């Protein structure tokens, strides 16, 4: 088993992108990398915030659980992405994160992370820009949920999935298997509605359903709906 050194990591996480070699080495010394298999929980809503994490490899869904047990998927994340930064100034973690496939996750003790931020103005500035982008993203999301109808939100969700995970080389299908319930939790609707509209989109030759695999035929058609 190869060691999970930052130096042989082929992702561009925020740290590798924006820190000098000395700081990357500092990070390398102070992280621990853990493997999660599909379905395992990486972060759990309500737990104390003790770490910031990066995805070394794998796909992850980040979600919140509402009053009536309904989940709401906040973000789909991929290799290189940061997780758990939402808990930064919070008492407890506001979201859960679950592996959608086998994942390698790097954990940084929150104190070490704060140390990097406080002593590394350039990194701190880039992190600020990152948060600003996240905020904008989230507010666009809120607006979508407030103003779009279900059909539009499902189209929007498919475009988002495409943007994050892209498509499988061989089959041209979305490079991730999500349940109808997962898609519903992104779009803010029910699994039945997802089923119905997916078939409607298939009727309209916008996409193709092969079991759980979805092949986007006309991405522009979906974007036009939004």
Chain residues binding a second copy by CB under 8 A are 64, 66-68, 70, 72, 74, 85-86, 88-90, 94-95, 117-119, 121, 124-125, 127-129, 131-136, 138-143, 145-147, 188
Q: How many Å apart are CA 88 and CA 86, to the nearest integer?
A: 5
Stretch of 10-18, 55-63, 155-163, 190-198 lying at the interface with DNA (CB under 7 A)? 190-198
State which residue, 70 or 205, has the beta carbon closest to a second copy: 70
Smallest gap from Cβ 209 to DNA, in A, equals 5
Q: How many Å apart are CA 189 and CA 153, to the nearest integer?
A: 9
Q: Among 127, 198, 207, 225, which residue sits at the site for DNA (rule: CB under 7 A)? A: 198
**Percent of the chain that is helix, strand, coil (3-state, to 5):** 45, 25, 30
Q: Among 193, 201, 206, 225, which residue sits at the site for DNA (rule: CB under 7 A)? A: 193
Tokens of 37: 């298999």
Q: Among 44, 199, 204, 224, which residue sits at the site for DNA (rule: CB under 7 A)? A: 199
| Interface with DNA, residue 172, by CB under 7 A | no
State which residue, 121 or 211, has the beta carbon closest to DNA: 211
Binding partner of 67, given a second copy, DNA, none, CB within 5-8 angstroms per partner class = a second copy
Beta strands 51-57 and 103-109: pairing type?
A: antiparallel
Whether 149 contacts 200, CB under 8 Å: no
For residue 55, CA distances in Å to 2, 50, 61, 153, 167 come to: 17, 17, 11, 27, 20
Q: Among 28, 109, 191, 219, which residue sits at the site for DNA (rule: CB under 7 A)? A: 191
Q: Among 47, 119, 179, 224, which residue sits at the site for DNA (rule: CB under 7 A)? A: 179
Binding partner of 118, given a second copy, DNA, none, CB within 5-8 angstroms per partner class = a second copy
Return the exposure string of 49-65: e unless at least 16 CB atoms fall within 10 Å of the residue's CB, then b: bebbbbbbbbbbbbbee
φ/ψ of residue 40, rounded to 5 = -75, 150
Q: How many Å apart are CA 9 and CA 28, to the nearest integer?
A: 10
| Interface with DNA, residue 72, by CB under 7 A | no
| Interface with DNA, residue 206, by CB under 7 A | no
Task: Locate all alpha helices (DSSP H) within 87-206, ordered by sequence.
Answer: 110-118, 121-147, 150-165, 180-187, 191-203
Binding partner of 8, given a second copy, DNA, none, CB within 5-8 angstroms per partner class = none
Smallest gap from Cβ 154 to a second copy, in A, equals 13
Instruction: Give the binding site for DNA (CB under 7 A).
Output: 149-151, 179-181, 188-196, 198-199, 209, 211-212
């Amino acid at each position: 088993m190869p060691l999970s050194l930052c130096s042989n990591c082929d992702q561009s996480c925020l740290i590798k992108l924006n820190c000098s070699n000395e700081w990357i080495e500092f990070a390398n010394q102070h992280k621990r990398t853990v493997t999660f298999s599909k379905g395992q929980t990486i972060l759990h809503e309500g737990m104390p915030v003790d770490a910031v994490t990066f995805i070394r490899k794998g796909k992850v869904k980040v979600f919140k659980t509402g009053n009536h047990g309904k989940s709401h998927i906040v973000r789909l994340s991929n290799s290189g992405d940061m997780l758990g930064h939402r808990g930064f100034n919070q008492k407890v973690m506001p979201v859960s994160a679950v592996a959608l496939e086998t994942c390698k996750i790097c954990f940084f003790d929150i104190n070490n992370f704060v140390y990097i931020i406080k002593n590394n103005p350039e990194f701190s500035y880039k992190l600020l820009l990152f948060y600003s982008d996240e905020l904008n993203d989230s507010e666009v999301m809120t607006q979508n949920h407030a103003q779009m109808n279900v059909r539009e939100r499902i189209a929007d969700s498919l475009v988002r999935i495409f943007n994050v995970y892209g498509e499988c080389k061989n089959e041209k299908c979305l490079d991730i298997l999500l349940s109808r319930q997962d898609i519903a939790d992104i779009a803010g609707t029910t699994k039945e509605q997802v089923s119905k509209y997916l078939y409607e989109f298939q009727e309209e030759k916008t996409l193709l359903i092969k079991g759980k695999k979805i092949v986007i035929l006309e991405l522009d058609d979906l974007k036009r709906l939004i």
